[in-house]
Amino acid sequence: MARTNPITFLQQVRSETSKVTWPSRNEVVISTIMVLVLVTFASLFFLFADQVISWLVSMMLSIR
């Protein structure tokens, strides 16, 4: 495998990053809000599921 000169490597990296389509500020804001909303819903769901499972286990263990 041929070794690449560090200068050549950095030039290639710069060339590749210029090809990237960067998101607009609006797209970043919308995506961030969507992530925060979905994380909140997931957190609430798992909190609810944990409480239900905890309640069921405590009921099962107190039956003796």
Residue corresponding to tokens 């950095």:
10
Per-residue pLDDT tens digits for 7-54: 999 999 999 999 999 999 999 999 999 999 999 999 999 999 999 999
**Would 37 be classed as within a structural domain?**
yes
Place 1 in a pLDDT band, splitting at 50, 70 and 90.
low
Whether 47 contacts 55, CB under 8 Å: no
Whether 31 contacts 23, CB under 8 Å: yes
Domain boundaries, position 46: 24-64
**Would 36 be classed as within a structural domain?**
yes
The residue-averaged pLDDT of 49-63 equals 92
CA 60/CA 64 separation, integer angstroms: 8
**Would 17 be classed as within a structural domain?**
no
Residue 64 has pLDDT above 70, yes or no: no
How wide is the angle at C-alpha 11 spanned by C-alphas 6 and 12, nearest 5°?
95
31, containing H or E segment: helix 25-61
Domain count within the chain: 1
**Would 10 be classed as within a structural domain?**
no
Model pLDDT, residue 2: 74
**Would 12 be classed as within a structural domain?**
no
Model pLDDT, residue 58: 92
